[in-house]
Amino acid sequence: MTDVLGIDQPNVSAWLDENIDGAQGPFRFEFITGGHSNLTYKVTGADGTAFVLRRPPMGAIIASAHDMAREHRIISAVGKTSVPVPRALGLCQDEAVNGAPFYVMNFVVGVVVDNDEVAATALPDPATRGILSESVIDVLADLHLVDPDQIGLGELGRKDSYLDRQLKRWAGQWEKTKTRELPEMDEAHRLLLDRKPPQRYTGIVHGDYRLGNLLSSPESGTVQGVLDWELCTLGDVLADVGYILNNWVQPGEDVIEGATAAPTIVGGFATREAMVERYSQRTGFEVGDISYYRAFQAWRLAAIVEGVLNRYLQGVMGDDSVDTDQYKLQVEGLVGNALELLNGSSS
Protein backbone atom coordinates (compact mmCIF):
# COMPACT_ATOMS: atom_id res chain seq x y z
CA MET A 1 0.00 0.00 0.00
CA THR A 2 1.58 3.27 -1.17
CA ASP A 3 1.52 6.09 1.38
CA VAL A 4 -0.60 9.10 0.38
CA LEU A 5 0.08 12.33 2.28
CA GLY A 6 -2.90 13.34 4.38
CA ILE A 7 -4.65 9.95 4.31
CA ASP A 8 -4.52 7.28 7.03
CA GLN A 9 -5.47 4.53 4.58
CA PRO A 10 -6.47 1.78 7.04
CA ASN A 11 -8.62 4.10 9.16
CA VAL A 12 -10.20 5.95 6.25
CA SER A 13 -10.87 2.70 4.39
CA ALA A 14 -12.68 1.26 7.40
CA TRP A 15 -14.73 4.45 7.76
CA LEU A 16 -15.70 4.40 4.07
CA ASP A 17 -16.80 0.76 4.32
CA GLU A 18 -19.01 1.58 7.28
CA ASN A 19 -20.42 4.97 6.25
CA ILE A 20 -20.61 5.39 2.46
CA ASP A 21 -23.30 3.50 0.58
CA GLY A 22 -21.86 1.56 -2.34
CA ALA A 23 -18.25 1.89 -1.19
CA GLN A 24 -16.36 -1.40 -1.43
CA GLY A 25 -12.75 -1.78 -0.36
CA PRO A 26 -9.91 -2.14 -0.80
CA PHE A 27 -9.61 1.48 -1.90
CA ARG A 28 -7.03 3.30 -3.99
CA PHE A 29 -6.31 6.90 -2.99
CA GLU A 30 -4.95 9.45 -5.47
CA PHE A 31 -4.03 13.03 -4.68
CA ILE A 32 -5.90 15.35 -7.06
CA THR A 33 -5.09 18.86 -5.94
CA GLY A 34 -4.14 20.93 -2.94
CA GLY A 35 -1.69 23.67 -2.07
CA HIS A 36 -3.14 26.65 -0.24
CA SER A 37 -6.68 25.23 -0.49
CA ASN A 38 -8.28 22.13 0.99
CA LEU A 39 -6.76 18.86 -0.16
CA THR A 40 -8.73 16.75 -2.62
CA TYR A 41 -8.35 13.04 -3.35
CA LYS A 42 -9.92 10.58 -5.77
CA VAL A 43 -10.92 7.36 -4.00
CA THR A 44 -11.58 4.30 -6.15
CA GLY A 45 -13.25 1.21 -4.71
CA ALA A 46 -12.66 -2.42 -5.61
CA ASP A 47 -15.55 -2.34 -8.10
CA GLY A 48 -14.25 0.78 -9.83
CA THR A 49 -16.72 3.20 -8.24
CA ALA A 50 -15.02 6.55 -7.66
CA PHE A 51 -15.57 9.06 -4.89
CA VAL A 52 -13.91 12.32 -3.88
CA LEU A 53 -12.57 13.04 -0.40
CA ARG A 54 -11.83 16.55 0.88
CA ARG A 55 -9.81 17.44 3.97
CA PRO A 56 -8.02 20.56 5.29
CA PRO A 57 -4.43 21.23 4.20
CA MET A 58 -1.70 19.88 6.44
CA GLY A 59 -1.12 22.41 9.22
CA ALA A 60 -4.08 24.58 8.22
CA ILE A 61 -3.63 28.18 9.40
CA ILE A 62 -7.09 29.74 9.02
CA ALA A 63 -9.50 27.21 10.51
CA SER A 64 -12.64 29.00 9.27
CA ALA A 65 -11.49 28.58 5.67
CA HIS A 66 -11.11 24.83 6.11
CA ASP A 67 -14.34 23.92 7.94
CA MET A 68 -15.31 20.55 6.49
CA ALA A 69 -18.72 20.44 8.16
CA ARG A 70 -19.55 23.87 6.75
CA GLU A 71 -18.44 22.95 3.24
CA HIS A 72 -20.37 19.66 3.41
CA ARG A 73 -23.45 21.56 4.58
CA ILE A 74 -23.18 24.01 1.67
CA ILE A 75 -22.94 21.44 -1.11
CA SER A 76 -25.70 19.37 0.51
CA ALA A 77 -27.98 22.41 0.45
CA VAL A 78 -27.02 23.69 -3.01
CA GLY A 79 -27.52 20.15 -4.28
CA LYS A 80 -31.26 20.68 -3.80
CA THR A 81 -31.22 23.35 -6.54
CA SER A 82 -30.54 23.35 -10.27
CA VAL A 83 -26.93 24.42 -9.63
CA PRO A 84 -24.68 21.45 -10.51
CA VAL A 85 -22.63 20.33 -7.52
CA PRO A 86 -21.18 16.97 -6.52
CA ARG A 87 -23.54 14.99 -4.30
CA ALA A 88 -22.52 15.00 -0.63
CA LEU A 89 -22.23 11.40 0.64
CA GLY A 90 -20.81 11.60 4.14
CA LEU A 91 -18.99 13.67 6.76
CA CYS A 92 -16.43 12.49 9.31
CA GLN A 93 -15.76 14.89 12.19
CA ASP A 94 -13.87 12.36 14.34
CA GLU A 95 -10.25 13.50 14.03
CA ALA A 96 -9.08 10.15 15.39
CA VAL A 97 -9.90 8.65 12.00
CA ASN A 98 -7.61 10.79 9.82
CA GLY A 99 -6.11 13.53 11.98
CA ALA A 100 -8.63 16.09 10.68
CA PRO A 101 -12.29 16.14 9.63
CA PHE A 102 -13.12 15.18 6.03
CA TYR A 103 -16.11 14.65 3.81
CA VAL A 104 -16.89 12.49 0.81
CA MET A 105 -18.84 13.32 -2.35
CA ASN A 106 -19.52 11.56 -5.61
CA PHE A 107 -17.04 11.78 -8.46
CA VAL A 108 -18.21 14.04 -11.30
CA VAL A 109 -16.69 13.51 -14.73
CA GLY A 110 -15.41 16.69 -16.31
CA VAL A 111 -12.36 18.76 -17.18
CA VAL A 112 -10.99 21.60 -15.05
CA VAL A 113 -10.18 24.27 -17.63
CA ASP A 114 -7.66 26.12 -15.49
CA ASN A 115 -5.23 27.42 -18.13
CA ASP A 116 -5.00 28.25 -21.80
CA GLU A 117 -3.32 24.98 -22.75
CA VAL A 118 -6.18 22.94 -21.30
CA ALA A 119 -8.70 25.23 -23.00
CA ALA A 120 -6.99 24.74 -26.36
CA THR A 121 -6.70 20.95 -26.10
CA ALA A 122 -9.88 20.00 -24.21
CA LEU A 123 -12.05 22.51 -26.08
CA PRO A 124 -10.53 22.65 -29.59
CA ASP A 125 -13.75 23.92 -31.18
CA PRO A 126 -14.28 27.65 -30.50
CA ALA A 127 -18.04 27.06 -30.73
CA THR A 128 -17.82 24.80 -27.67
CA ARG A 129 -15.99 27.55 -25.80
CA GLY A 130 -18.86 29.90 -26.60
CA ILE A 131 -21.39 27.39 -25.27
CA LEU A 132 -19.31 26.94 -22.11
CA SER A 133 -19.22 30.72 -21.61
CA GLU A 134 -23.01 30.78 -21.54
CA SER A 135 -23.17 27.81 -19.19
CA VAL A 136 -20.65 29.39 -16.80
CA ILE A 137 -22.65 32.60 -16.46
CA ASP A 138 -26.03 30.81 -16.38
CA VAL A 139 -24.92 28.61 -13.49
CA LEU A 140 -23.67 31.65 -11.57
CA ALA A 141 -26.93 33.50 -12.22
CA ASP A 142 -28.95 30.49 -11.07
CA LEU A 143 -26.91 30.31 -7.86
CA HIS A 144 -27.53 33.99 -7.19
CA LEU A 145 -31.27 33.56 -7.67
CA VAL A 146 -31.44 30.88 -4.96
CA ASP A 147 -33.10 32.00 -1.74
CA PRO A 148 -30.67 30.77 0.94
CA ASP A 149 -33.49 30.56 3.50
CA GLN A 150 -35.36 28.10 1.27
CA ILE A 151 -32.48 25.59 1.22
CA GLY A 152 -31.38 25.88 4.84
CA LEU A 153 -28.49 28.31 4.37
CA GLY A 154 -30.14 31.41 5.77
CA GLU A 155 -27.84 31.34 8.79
CA LEU A 156 -24.65 30.68 6.83
CA GLY A 157 -23.46 34.22 7.49
CA ARG A 158 -24.55 37.83 7.75
CA LYS A 159 -26.45 38.95 4.68
CA ASP A 160 -25.98 42.70 4.99
CA SER A 161 -22.95 45.01 4.72
CA TYR A 162 -20.97 42.51 2.67
CA LEU A 163 -18.53 45.00 1.16
CA ASP A 164 -17.98 46.74 4.51
CA ARG A 165 -17.12 43.43 6.13
CA GLN A 166 -14.86 42.31 3.32
CA LEU A 167 -13.00 45.61 3.11
CA LYS A 168 -12.40 45.55 6.85
CA ARG A 169 -11.34 41.91 6.87
CA TRP A 170 -8.84 42.10 4.04
CA ALA A 171 -7.41 45.44 5.08
CA GLY A 172 -6.73 43.82 8.45
CA GLN A 173 -5.17 40.79 6.78
CA TRP A 174 -2.99 43.07 4.68
CA GLU A 175 -1.70 44.88 7.76
CA LYS A 176 -0.91 41.58 9.48
CA THR A 177 0.83 39.89 6.56
CA LYS A 178 2.31 42.59 4.34
CA THR A 179 5.96 42.03 3.54
CA ARG A 180 6.67 45.64 2.54
CA GLU A 181 4.94 48.98 2.35
CA LEU A 182 2.77 49.33 -0.75
CA PRO A 183 0.97 52.71 -0.77
CA GLU A 184 -1.15 51.60 -3.74
CA MET A 185 -2.95 49.10 -1.48
CA ASP A 186 -3.90 51.85 0.95
CA GLU A 187 -5.02 54.14 -1.88
CA ALA A 188 -7.15 51.41 -3.45
CA HIS A 189 -8.72 50.67 -0.08
CA ARG A 190 -9.54 54.35 0.43
CA LEU A 191 -11.20 54.58 -2.99
CA LEU A 192 -13.13 51.35 -2.46
CA LEU A 193 -14.53 52.74 0.77
CA ASP A 194 -15.36 56.11 -0.77
CA ARG A 195 -17.09 54.68 -3.83
CA LYS A 196 -18.80 51.68 -2.27
CA PRO A 197 -22.22 51.08 -3.90
CA PRO A 198 -25.25 50.07 -1.86
CA GLN A 199 -25.93 46.34 -1.60
CA ARG A 200 -28.90 45.71 -3.87
CA TYR A 201 -28.82 41.98 -4.53
CA THR A 202 -28.24 39.60 -1.64
CA GLY A 203 -27.76 35.87 -1.92
CA ILE A 204 -25.22 33.05 -1.92
CA VAL A 205 -21.73 34.26 -2.82
CA HIS A 206 -19.44 31.42 -3.97
CA GLY A 207 -16.30 33.46 -3.31
CA ASP A 208 -13.98 31.78 -5.84
CA TYR A 209 -16.10 31.26 -8.96
CA ARG A 210 -13.88 30.75 -12.02
CA LEU A 211 -13.23 28.15 -14.71
CA GLY A 212 -10.51 26.60 -12.57
CA ASN A 213 -13.11 25.67 -9.96
CA LEU A 214 -15.61 24.17 -12.41
CA LEU A 215 -15.88 20.73 -13.98
CA SER A 216 -16.78 21.24 -17.62
CA SER A 217 -17.86 18.79 -20.31
CA PRO A 218 -15.72 18.96 -23.48
CA GLU A 219 -18.54 17.22 -25.35
CA SER A 220 -21.52 19.41 -24.45
CA GLY A 221 -19.64 22.52 -23.36
CA THR A 222 -21.65 22.75 -20.14
CA VAL A 223 -20.70 23.03 -16.49
CA GLN A 224 -21.07 19.64 -14.79
CA GLY A 225 -20.05 20.64 -11.28
CA VAL A 226 -19.11 23.68 -9.20
CA LEU A 227 -16.25 22.95 -6.81
CA ASP A 228 -14.37 24.58 -3.90
CA TRP A 229 -17.08 26.13 -1.74
CA GLU A 230 -14.78 26.91 1.19
CA LEU A 231 -15.07 30.71 0.75
CA CYS A 232 -18.84 30.62 0.24
CA THR A 233 -20.92 33.03 2.31
CA LEU A 234 -23.97 35.27 2.07
CA GLY A 235 -23.82 38.82 0.79
CA ASP A 236 -23.56 40.95 -2.33
CA VAL A 237 -23.74 38.53 -5.25
CA LEU A 238 -22.22 41.03 -7.70
CA ALA A 239 -18.87 40.31 -6.02
CA ASP A 240 -18.89 36.93 -7.78
CA VAL A 241 -19.54 38.61 -11.12
CA GLY A 242 -16.59 40.95 -10.63
CA TYR A 243 -14.41 37.97 -9.77
CA ILE A 244 -15.25 35.86 -12.83
CA LEU A 245 -14.79 38.89 -15.11
CA ASN A 246 -11.28 39.45 -13.74
CA ASN A 247 -10.47 35.86 -14.63
CA TRP A 248 -12.07 36.22 -18.07
CA VAL A 249 -9.00 37.57 -19.87
CA GLN A 250 -9.67 38.54 -23.49
CA PRO A 251 -7.32 37.59 -26.37
CA GLY A 252 -4.61 40.20 -26.79
CA GLU A 253 -4.88 41.50 -23.23
CA ASP A 254 -1.91 41.45 -20.90
CA VAL A 255 -1.97 38.86 -18.15
CA ILE A 256 -0.96 40.27 -14.75
CA GLU A 257 2.74 39.54 -14.28
CA GLY A 258 3.33 36.69 -11.89
CA ALA A 259 -0.18 35.30 -12.38
CA THR A 260 -0.99 32.05 -14.15
CA ALA A 261 -2.25 32.27 -17.72
CA ALA A 262 -6.00 32.64 -18.05
CA PRO A 263 -7.83 29.92 -20.02
CA THR A 264 -10.04 32.36 -21.93
CA ILE A 265 -7.09 34.10 -23.57
CA VAL A 266 -7.08 31.42 -26.30
CA GLY A 267 -10.19 32.98 -27.84
CA GLY A 268 -13.61 31.62 -28.72
CA PHE A 269 -15.04 32.48 -25.30
CA ALA A 270 -17.70 35.16 -24.89
CA THR A 271 -16.60 38.72 -24.22
CA ARG A 272 -16.92 40.23 -20.76
CA GLU A 273 -19.65 42.51 -22.12
CA ALA A 274 -21.64 39.52 -23.40
CA MET A 275 -21.22 37.74 -20.06
CA VAL A 276 -22.52 40.75 -18.14
CA GLU A 277 -25.47 41.17 -20.51
CA ARG A 278 -26.44 37.50 -20.24
CA TYR A 279 -26.16 37.60 -16.44
CA SER A 280 -28.36 40.68 -16.28
CA GLN A 281 -30.96 39.10 -18.56
CA ARG A 282 -30.97 35.85 -16.58
CA THR A 283 -31.26 37.52 -13.16
CA GLY A 284 -32.96 40.84 -13.88
CA PHE A 285 -30.16 42.53 -11.92
CA GLU A 286 -28.73 45.90 -12.96
CA VAL A 287 -24.94 45.64 -13.15
CA GLY A 288 -23.81 49.04 -14.35
CA ASP A 289 -21.29 49.45 -11.52
CA ILE A 290 -19.50 46.17 -12.23
CA SER A 291 -16.10 47.89 -12.56
CA TYR A 292 -16.24 48.63 -8.84
CA TYR A 293 -16.69 44.93 -8.04
CA ARG A 294 -13.84 44.01 -10.37
CA ALA A 295 -11.60 46.52 -8.59
CA PHE A 296 -12.66 45.19 -5.20
CA GLN A 297 -11.85 41.62 -6.22
CA ALA A 298 -8.44 42.58 -7.64
CA TRP A 299 -7.58 44.39 -4.39
CA ARG A 300 -8.90 41.50 -2.26
CA LEU A 301 -6.89 38.96 -4.23
CA ALA A 302 -3.78 41.11 -3.81
CA ALA A 303 -4.24 40.90 -0.03
CA ILE A 304 -4.73 37.12 -0.24
CA VAL A 305 -1.63 36.59 -2.40
CA GLU A 306 0.44 38.75 -0.05
CA GLY A 307 -0.58 36.44 2.78
CA VAL A 308 0.66 33.44 0.78
CA LEU A 309 3.91 35.28 0.04
CA ASN A 310 4.35 36.02 3.74
CA ARG A 311 3.96 32.34 4.61
CA TYR A 312 6.54 31.33 2.02
CA LEU A 313 8.99 33.90 3.36
CA GLN A 314 8.36 32.63 6.90
CA GLY A 315 9.19 29.12 5.72
CA VAL A 316 5.90 27.57 6.85
CA MET A 317 4.72 26.37 3.42
CA GLY A 318 7.19 23.48 3.26
CA ASP A 319 8.65 24.55 -0.09
CA ASP A 320 11.73 26.73 -0.41
CA SER A 321 11.99 26.41 -4.20
CA VAL A 322 9.20 28.88 -4.98
CA ASP A 323 10.13 32.12 -6.74
CA THR A 324 8.68 34.58 -4.25
CA ASP A 325 9.38 37.49 -6.60
CA GLN A 326 6.54 36.18 -8.78
CA TYR A 327 4.15 36.60 -5.85
CA LYS A 328 5.37 40.16 -5.29
CA LEU A 329 4.81 40.98 -8.97
CA GLN A 330 1.35 39.46 -8.85
CA VAL A 331 0.35 41.54 -5.81
CA GLU A 332 1.62 44.71 -7.46
CA GLY A 333 -0.11 43.85 -10.74
CA LEU A 334 -3.41 43.15 -9.00
CA VAL A 335 -3.48 46.37 -7.01
CA GLY A 336 -2.43 48.29 -10.12
CA ASN A 337 -5.35 46.73 -11.96
CA ALA A 338 -7.67 47.70 -9.10
CA LEU A 339 -6.58 51.34 -9.31
CA GLU A 340 -7.00 51.36 -13.10
CA LEU A 341 -10.54 50.05 -12.74
CA LEU A 342 -11.37 52.57 -10.01
CA ASN A 343 -9.98 55.38 -12.13
CA GLY A 344 -11.79 54.25 -15.27
CA SER A 345 -8.69 53.41 -17.31
CA SER A 346 -9.17 49.63 -17.61
CA SER A 347 -11.68 47.69 -19.68
Residue 145 confidence (pLDDT): 98
Segment 139-162 shows an average pLDDT of 97
| Lowest pLDDT segment from 26-40, 79-93, 163-177, 195-209 | 26-40
CA distance 208 to 163: 16
Mean pLDDT along residues 39-50 = 95
Give the residue-averaged pLDDT of 161-175: 96
pLDDT for 210 beyond 80: yes
DSSP letter at 92 equals E
Give the tens place of pLDDT for each residue, 61-84. Answer: 444 446 899 999 999 999 999 999
Per-residue model confidence (pLDDT) at position 312: 84
Q: Give the per-residue pLDDT at 255.
A: 79
Q: If DSSP codes are grouped into helix, strand and coil, which group holds residue 105?
A: strand
Residue 345 has pLDDT above 80, yes or no: no
What's the CATH superfamily of 9-106?
Phosphorylase Kinase; domain 1 (3.30.200.20)
d(CA 169, CA 64): 13
Q: Which fold has domain 116-342?
A: Aminoglycoside 3'-phosphotransferase; Chain: A, domain 2 (3.90.1200)
Average pLDDT, integer, range 121-148 = 97
Give residue-wise pLDDT tens across range 240-278: 999 999 999 999 888 776 666 689 999 999 999 999 999
DSSP lists the bridge partners of residue 41 as 31, 53
Enumerate the domain spans of the chain. 9-106, 116-342
* 88-92 vs 102-106, strand pairing mode: antiparallel
Query: Residue 5 — very low, low, confident or very high, per pLDDT cuts 50/70/90?
Result: confident
The Cα 12–Cα 49 span in angstroms is 16
Count CB atoms within 10 A of the CB of residue 321. Answer: 4
What's the pLDDT at 64? 47
Residue 306 vs residue 322, higher pLDDT: 306
When pLDDT is cut at 50, 70 and 90, the band that residue 56 belongs to is confident
| pLDDT of the residue at 34 | 55
